[in-house]
């Protein structure tokens, strides 16, 4: 009732229009005095009370008593962040009450809602809702009026940016065009800009005139008419059609290209000036100093733009840039200047598995940037927040610097969209108490990588997202964190609140009863981005402008992020541009009464809105199945747990082949198998259940299984974990497919009075011949697909990896597979350490294939061996009258990745390194050929060389920081070295390689240029390469940038006969269309690497010399392992057509 009375009083008052801060404060206090005299003048800490007590508003009751899913207690004073985080549990795999794992989307959503509700209650208890509502109304009105004023409407870029935002096809096209043109290399300037303009603006779905309107700004209308006119001259591109023929462009077309190119270039200059303070620190400092002189309440924080370092050269360049900027900023005379530092720009190995190397290195580099002196206007270095998987590393570096360097002050950026934001603040408070000689300041932001965090969590098989999945939840977290900073401003001084949202400003000020003098006395300030939030004056309070500094080439990532933020439908700025008064003053802390969930044992509020992402990252396949669970490498306890875990030791004993007689009993038993149609459905269902249980067992023992793969196949930890996850996906997917498509007879359409059923039944004994490169996942996929169809299965593993095959059978038997349904046959006496066993033809494999007892063979390996198996199966039918056996083969390929000069070099470099060097190049899908545009060759080669130099290649694959381990054997490494010798003798030139020397099976990744001479024929260079080399050797061919020559190169690759994987890195629609349509391959990837196919999402397999059969992990794959019986019955044979008569009226 009291709140209602005060709100009514405030609504009757005239709106305040003056920006003088003291008068505004007086107005707030006078307004509230009659209804709440006790609140005016209350100290800031007076609101730090139990939320259930009297100062909680009626609509802000405490959250239900839900057991905390994560321990929020403070760490011990003598422990570091990793010990503190270790007690809180894994942020990727949290547990619910009682330590129960999160295994459903409903449980994940309820857990997230419970956490956020606790934050909501905390924030709501510390603010005055009446003050917040009135301030929000006033701020929103003033901001709306300012944004839509004639001056801003016609003389600024804000309306234009909002009009062409990412929710329109035209806005997307212009953003993509700007993104691509910024980074086009000078060497490609002759042809690439015009091609980009034609591709992106010539799309048939663009209508620039739809943005023309009488109530819109002159700039919008002029731009819309100009773009529409120029577009009329461009050829129209139809998605999926042929690429543009550049030779047919007339003078008018080329003239329009030139005019539009100049216009777009100038527009980019305007955009750069709007969103960046200057191209270099000197220009930025001059501009910022003018702004501070004009407005005493303004200060600046500088950010040297740039991508994360891919090479050590990049990191050295960025460090020099930071050092130069720090010096220039300190001598310029700013008021309390700041500079942000991205740790990822200072090390190419900023990841948790490289902790031992990167933490000391980054601590030293970061520490060198701090000034020694302190004072009221002292310079502060802020450590920027990056991806959530780098939070532990970032805080470890911060703690190291404070402990070892004791700088007078340091800043840390905290992202409120991270679900560990409050824990991070608690940790920083404890750090500040422990090291009082260093002042730790916090800049609170909402976060800028939300979309990437969501995708990464899904890729890693997490049980929970590390960020809030709803915009409202992030806003709640932000306000809860803001209340914490206000309460602890004596320990964490000078907190900064970065926001453009007027309502958020109102909520924060309401936490000090609207007392702006108190807000500034505590050194608090607001922050906004340069070029954004200018229509809101923050009521004359201190505002720091986050000021990016960099040339247009460095603007790309930052510019795209700003455009996305402006255009997002949930963005305050987007709502402001749309004039949405109804959405401007939304109270995110008000209590809601939505659906209630009890999946974690206690009622909690479930989010009303949906961001469109699954509630649980592993739930991307809906209700059909969960994707495989990952391992949290970032968790502090992982290294110790991994070291203590023993490798899985299979109990199953394979059958050792010492000759054909040793296989006689097995082949005789296989010969007695007869399919039983009557039991086929029950068999398939029971075996599907076995696969599901086996998947759970593998997930339970995933670390032990991974360690076994590392021991036997020489894989790195990341590769081994990914293989275990792939096997789990195979098991669950094939179980679902078998039940859905094989278990029940299919009713076929036919004439009335007749019933026709299609019943699947086992085809017969099945031989699975597996490779060494994926001895667990691929072999498991081959075996499980034949097994679930009801067939007896014999596994013949590669001689180097028998333990993995035995472990597969172990798991399936534990899950309930029938005795005798699976067998493993190995060669000779099984060595104690099987890795590196003999190479070449397998005696056991040849004997099994030639036995004639198998209805089919699944094989993954070389094309030559597949052909031999095919020939042997045919001979069995001719000479032994054996049934015609089916061969399902997946072989290798000369896999091609194409990169033109429109692609972002950093993205190309990442994709190239992952495609050819990951798993030591021992993947069927590994890239063997890079076809590169001459316009970007030099820059790309430099980046690849630097990236390879930063790679760690080691025989010790158990070192968690190892990127590339040894090949499967010394024989394989010798073959790779002989191939390299052959390339060099044929005229190829080595462009790059990793640092270090080959040693036995250790083979360093290499990159060779097959046509190194300028202007030489790329097709002739391809003649040096005929067959696949199963090692990390990349062969580069360079074309002149024309699409005609690119097509000629692709045709030459196709003539090699392989067709497995391929890809293209480009921003040109015409290049993408050309390569997609012309390159013959089974799996094609656009703007990403070409390895790591995912079950169900990216079914894998090729044709030609690269294999036959249906793609593994696809819906139709299991059909190869069954025979079909059609059962047709005349239902009128007795009593006539009863069904027809029933339906006749």
Q: Which pair of structure tokens corresponds to residue 651?
A: 């109990």
Q: Beta strands of 479-610 (E only): which ranges?
A: 496-498, 525-529, 543-549, 596-597, 604-605
* 557 Cβ contact list (under 8 Å, min separation 6): 305, 307
With beta carbons less than 8 A apart as the criterion, state whether 633 and 803 touch.
Answer: no
Task: Specify the length of the chain in residues.
Answer: 1145
Q: Is 992 helix (H, G, I), strand (E, B) or coil?
A: strand
Please give the Cα distance from 6 to 58 (Å, whole number).
Answer: 14
Q: Is 53 helix (H, G, I), strand (E, B) or coil?
A: coil
With beta carbons less than 8 A apart as the criterion, state whether 125 and 51 touch.
Answer: yes
Q: Which pair of structure tokens corresponds to residue 162?
A: 């909002």
* 968 Cβ contact list (under 8 Å, min separation 6): 713, 714, 772, 773, 800, 835, 836, 922, 1001
With beta carbons less than 8 A apart as the criterion, state whether 923 and 905 touch.
Answer: no
The one catalytic residue in 358, 657, 909, 924 is 924
Q: Which of 1050, 991, 988 is nearest to 1024 (CA)?
A: 988
**CA–CA distances in Å: residue 522 to residues 281, 515, 845:** 30, 11, 77
Q: Is 543 helix (H, G, I), strand (E, B) or coil?
A: strand
Q: Which of 731, 709, 704 is nearest to 720 (CA)?
A: 709
Please give the Cα distance from 971 to 369 (Å, whole number).
Answer: 50
Please give the Cα distance from 917 to 920 (Å, whole number).
Answer: 5
Q: Which of 801, 794, 796 is nearest to 838 (CA)?
A: 801
Q: Which of 251, 191, 232 is nearest to 1071 (CA)?
A: 191
Helices H / strands E in the chain, number of each: 38, 28
Exposure string for 759-774, b = 16+ CB within 10 A, e = fewer = bbbbbbbbbbbbbbbb
- Burial of residue 62 (CB within 10 Å: 0-12, 13-18, 19+) is middle
Please give the Cα distance from 441 to 411 (Å, whole number).
Answer: 5
Q: Which of 368, 377, 373 is nearest to 494 (CA)?
A: 377
Collect contacts of 45-48 with beta carbons under 8 A, ≥24 apart: 45/487, 47/125, 47/126, 47/127, 47/511, 48/126, 48/487
Verify whether residue 1069 is a known catalytic residue.
Answer: no
Q: Which of 430, 588, 466, 484 is nearest to 83 (CA)?
A: 430
The one catalytic residue in 712, 723, 890, 1069 is 890
Verify whether residue 924 is a known catalytic residue.
Answer: yes
**Distance, first Cα to last Cα, the chain:** 69
With beta carbons less than 8 A apart as the criterion, state whether 776 and 724 touch.
Answer: yes
Exposure string for 596-634, b = 16+ CB within 10 A, e = fewer = ebebbeeebbbbeeebebbbbbbbbbeeebbbbbbbbbb
Q: Which pair of structure tokens corresponds to residue 447?
A: 């976060």
With beta carbons less than 8 A apart as the criterion, state whether 474 and 611 touch.
Answer: no
Residues recognised as catalytic: 890, 924
């Amino acid at each position: 009732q009291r709140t209602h009375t005060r709100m009514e009083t405030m609504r009757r008052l005239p709106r305040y229009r003056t920006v003088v801060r003291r008068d505004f404060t007086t107005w707030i206090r006078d307004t509230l005095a009659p209804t709440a005299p006790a609140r005016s003048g209350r100290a800031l800490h007076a609101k730090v009370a139990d939320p259930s007590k009297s100062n909680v508003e009626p609509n802000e009751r405490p959250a239900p008593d839900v057991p905390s899913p994560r321990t929020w207690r403070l760490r011990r004073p003598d422990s570091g962040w990793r010990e503190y985080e270790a007690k809180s549990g894994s942020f990727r795999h949290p547990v619910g009450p009682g330590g129960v794992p999160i295994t459903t989307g409903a449980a994940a959503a309820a857990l997230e809602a419970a956490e956020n509700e606790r934050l909501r209650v905390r924030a709501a208890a510390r603010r005055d809702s009446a003050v917040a509502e009135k301030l929000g109304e006033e701020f929103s009105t003033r901001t709306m009026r300012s944004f839509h004023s004639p001056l801003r409407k016609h003389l600024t870029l804000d309306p234009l940016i909002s009009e062409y935002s990412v929710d329109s096809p035209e806005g997307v096209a212009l953003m993509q065009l700007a993104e691509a043109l910024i980074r086009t290399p000078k060497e490609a300037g002759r042809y690439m800009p015009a091609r980009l303009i034609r591709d992106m603006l010539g799309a048939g779905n663009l209508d620039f005139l739809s943005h023309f309107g009488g109530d819109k700004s002159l700039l919008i209308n002029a731009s819309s008419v100009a773009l529409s006119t120029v577009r009329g001259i461009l050829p129209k591109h139809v998605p999926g059609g042929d690429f543009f023929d550049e030779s047919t462009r007339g003078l008018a077309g080329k003239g329009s290209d030139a005019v539009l190119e100049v216009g777009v270039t100038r527009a980019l200059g305007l955009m750069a000036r709007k969103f960046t303070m200057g191209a270099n620190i000197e220009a930025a400092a001059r501009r910022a100093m003018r702004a501070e002189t004009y407005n005493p309440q303004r200060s600046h924080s500088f950010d040297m733009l740039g991508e994360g370092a891919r090479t050590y050269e990049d990191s050295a360049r960025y460090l020099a840039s930071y050092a130069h900027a720090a010096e220039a900023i300190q001598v310029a005379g700013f008021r309390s200047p700041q500079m942000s530092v991205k740790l990822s720009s200072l090390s190419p190995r900023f990841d948790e598995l490289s902790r031992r190397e990167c933490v000391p290195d980054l601590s030293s580099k970061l520490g060198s940037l701090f000034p020694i002196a302190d004072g009221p206007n002292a310079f502060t270095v802020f450590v920027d927040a990056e991806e959530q998987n780098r939070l532990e590393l970032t805080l470890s570096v911060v703690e190291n610097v404070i402990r070892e360097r004791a700088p007078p002050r340091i800043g840390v950026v905290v992202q409120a969209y991270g679900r560990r934001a409050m824990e991070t603040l608690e940790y920083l408070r404890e750090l500040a108490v422990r090291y009082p000689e260093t002042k730790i300041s916090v800049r609170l932001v909402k976060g800028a990588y939300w979309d990437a965090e969501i995708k990464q969590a899904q890729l890693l098989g997490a049980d929970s997202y590390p960020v809030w999945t709803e915009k409202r939840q992030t806003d709640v977290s932000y306000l809860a964190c803001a209340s914490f900073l206000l309460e602890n401003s004596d320990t964490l001084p000078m907190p900064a609140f970065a926001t453009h949202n007027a309502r958020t400003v109102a909520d924060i000020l309401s936490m000090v009863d609207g007392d702006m003098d108190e807000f500034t006395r505590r050194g608090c300030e607001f922050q906004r981005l340069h070029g954004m939030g200018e229509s809101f004056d923050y009521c004359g309070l201190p505002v720091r402008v986050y000021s990016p500094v960099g040339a247009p080439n460095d603007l790309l990532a930052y510019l795209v992020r700003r455009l996305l933020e402006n255009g997002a439908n949930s963005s305050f700025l987007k709502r402001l541009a749309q004039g949405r008064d109804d959405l401007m003053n939304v109270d995110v802390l008000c209590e809601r009464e939505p659906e209630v969930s009890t999946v974690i044992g206690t009622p909690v509020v479930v989010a009303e809105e949906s961001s469109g992402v699954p509630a649980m990252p592993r739930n991307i396949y809906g209700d059909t199945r969960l994707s495989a669970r990952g391992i949290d490498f970032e968790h502090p306890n992982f290294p110790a747990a991994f070291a203590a875990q023993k490798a899985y030791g299979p109990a199953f004993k394979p059958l050792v082949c010492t000759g054909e007689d040793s296989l006689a009993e097995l082949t005789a038993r296989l010969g007695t198998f007869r399919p039983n149609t009557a039991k086929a459905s029950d068999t398939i269902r029971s075996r599907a259940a076995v696969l599901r249980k086996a998947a759970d067992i593998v997930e339970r023992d995933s670390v032990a299984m991974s360690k076994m793969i590392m021991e036997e196949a020489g894989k790195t930890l990341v590769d081994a974990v990914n293989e275990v996850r792939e096997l789990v996906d195979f098991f669950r997917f094939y179980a679902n497919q078998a039940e859905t498509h094989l278990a029940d007879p299919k009713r076929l359409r036919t004439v009335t009075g007749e019933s026709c059923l299609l019943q699947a039944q086992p085809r017969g004994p099945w031989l699975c011949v597996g490779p060494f490169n994926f001895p667990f996942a691929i072999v498991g996929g081959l075996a499980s697909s034949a097994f679930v169809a009801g067939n007896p299965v014999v596994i013949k593993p590669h001689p180097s990896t028998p333990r993995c095959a035995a472990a597969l059978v172990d798991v399936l038997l534990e899950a309930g597979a029938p005795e005798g349904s699976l067998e493993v046959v190995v060669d000779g006496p099984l060595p104690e350490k099987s890795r590196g066993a003999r190479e070449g033809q397998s005696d056991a494999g040849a004997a099994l294939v030639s036995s004639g007892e198998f209805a089919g063979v699944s094989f993954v390996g070389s094309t030559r061996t597949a052909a031999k198996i095919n020939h042997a199966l045919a001979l069995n039918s001719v000479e032994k009258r054996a049934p015609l056996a089916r061969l399902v083969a997946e072989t290798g390929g000369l896999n091609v990745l194409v990169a033109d000069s429109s692609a972002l070099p950093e993205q190309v470099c990442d994709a190239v390194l992952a495609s050819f060097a990951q798993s030591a190049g021992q993947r069927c899908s590994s890239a063997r050929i890079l076809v590169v545009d001459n316009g970007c060759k030099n820059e790309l080669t430099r980046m690849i060389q630097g990236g390879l130099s930063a790679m760690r290649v080691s025989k010790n694959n158990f070192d968690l920081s190892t990127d590339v381990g040894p090949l499967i054997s010394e024989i394989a490494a010798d073959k790779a070295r002989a191939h390299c010798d052959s390339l060099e003798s044929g005229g190829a030139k080595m462009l790059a390689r990793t640092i270090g020397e080959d040693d036995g099976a250790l083979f360093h990744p290499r990159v060779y240029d097959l046509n190194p001479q300028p202007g030489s024929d790329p097709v002739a260079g391809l003649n040096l390469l005929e067959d696949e080399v199963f090692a990390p050797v990349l062969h580069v061919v360079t074309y002149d940038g024309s699409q005609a020559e690119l097509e000629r190169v692709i045709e030459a690759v196709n003539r090699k006969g392989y067709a497995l994987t391929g890809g293209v890195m480009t921003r040109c629609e015409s290049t993408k269309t050309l390569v997609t349509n012309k390159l013959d391959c089974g799996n094609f990837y656009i703007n990403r690497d070409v390895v790591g196919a995912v079950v169900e999402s990216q079914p894998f397999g090729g044709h030609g010399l690269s294999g036959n059969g249906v793609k593994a992990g696809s819906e139709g794959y299991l059909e190869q392992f069954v025979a079909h019986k059609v059962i047709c019955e005349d239902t009128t044979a007795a009593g006539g057509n009863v069904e027809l008569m029933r339906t006749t009226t």
